[in-house]
Amino acid sequence: MEDYQVSDDFNIFVISDGTGKTAFSVVQAALLQFELPRVSILRFTNVRNREEIYSIMDMVRVQKDIVVYTIVNEELAETVRIEAVNRSVTALDVLGPLVETLKRRSSRRPRGIPGLFQRSEERVTERLEAIEYALEKSTGFSVSNLEQADIILLTVWYPHRDECILRLAEKGIKCGYVILDPHLPLPTNLEEVVCRASKSLRVGIKMDPIYLSALRSERIKALGLNCLAEKASLEEVQKELDFAQAIYEKLGCSVIDVSQLSSEEIVNLLLGQIKKREEEA
């Protein structure tokens, strides 16, 4: 840096084999400490080979511009270091020193896979959005938000339904559902909305009527809602299951039997359906 020209007009080249978000944020944070309106940040992302590095370094002005990089591929990072020395360019490695320290303190080797930070952030965002969807937008009686769902569950009243939906949300899966009950009016545009949600996995839930009757009885007693005892009668349960089955057939959705399955097993079954659908697509 001693040979660099003093100037308020230069470029900062951000080079990354990932998104470059980390290096870009560091550069922005540093620039906020100065009033340098003429300084430009040039961002080069997803760099994968030496030729790309050579081309970028050819644009860097000697003893004027600065290079800041986050490259986890050791061979490419070494290429930047060597080119910077050979061209008399200052290059700052944002991740390298910390990664080297972690290598010395840990028994593990760095994975060297670019873009892991972005993927981690995306997964957190997906989980938060799915949980928000489960808590606020999936009501069971409206189809207004169903097209946002990754899975649309069509089901009779099933005591463990909410637990399954939240378990899916924790995995970043938005699960919308529609309660099917012969005593309640169906949304007038149910068929239209469900068929239009072509990207969503549409699944009907069925189970053994005796099993469902026992589950409902247990839940009604636990909540002290004796006024709902009729909902647990075998006759009422069978009526609802038959009503739901007719709708499944009309909509042409896949159907899974969840009798005797735990919430975790149901979620794994649904995740398997999603994976199968993706593979077929």
Q: Which two tokens stand for residue 67?
A: 């290079």
In this structure, what DSSP letter does residue 114 have? T
Q: What is the mean pLDDT of each run of 10 residues along the chain (281 residues)?
A: 71 90 89 88 92 94 91 90 92 84 71 56 68 71 76 86 85 86 82 75 90 89 82 91 92 89 89 82 68
Q: Which CATH architecture has domain 123-280?
A: 3-Layer(aba) Sandwich (3.40)
Cβ neighbours of residue 166 under 8 Å, at least 6 residues apart? 131, 134
pLDDT of residue 273: 85
pLDDT at 109: 65
pTM over 0.85: no
pLDDT of residue 123: 66
Q: What residues have CB less than 8 Å from 115, skipping those under 6 apart?
A: 17, 18, 19
For domain 11-105, give the fold: Rossmann fold (3.40.50)
**What are the start-end ranges of the H helices in the chain?**
21-31, 50-59, 74-86, 96-105, 116-132, 161-170, 190-196, 209-223, 234-251, 263-280
Residue 113, pLDDT score: 62
Other CB atoms within 10 A of residue 131 CB: 17
Q: What is the pLDDT of residue 115?
A: 57
Site of tokens 């499944």: 248
What does the domain layout of the chain look like in residue ranges?
11-105, 123-280
Q: From residue 31, how far is each of 25, 39, 87, 249 by CA, in Å?
A: 10, 9, 24, 62
pLDDT of residue 14: 94
Domains 11-105 and 123-280 share a fold: yes
Side chain identity at residue 131, one-letter code? I
- What pLDDT is recorded for position 274? 83
Q: For residue 50, which of 18, 80, 84, 72 has the smallest C-alpha distance?
A: 80
Phi, psi of 223 (to 5 degrees): -85, -10
Q: What is the pLDDT of residue 116?
A: 53
Cα angle 255, 233, 207 (rounded to 5 degrees) comes to 15
Amino acid at 189: N
Q: In this predicted structure, what is the pLDDT of residue 139? A: 65
Residues 6+ apart with CB under 8 A from 17: 46, 47, 48, 70, 71, 72, 73, 76, 114, 115
Please choose, from the candidates 147, 114, 6, 122, the residue with its C-alpha nearest in 3D space to the C-alpha of residue 63: 6
Give dist(CA 25, CA 27) in Å, integer.
5
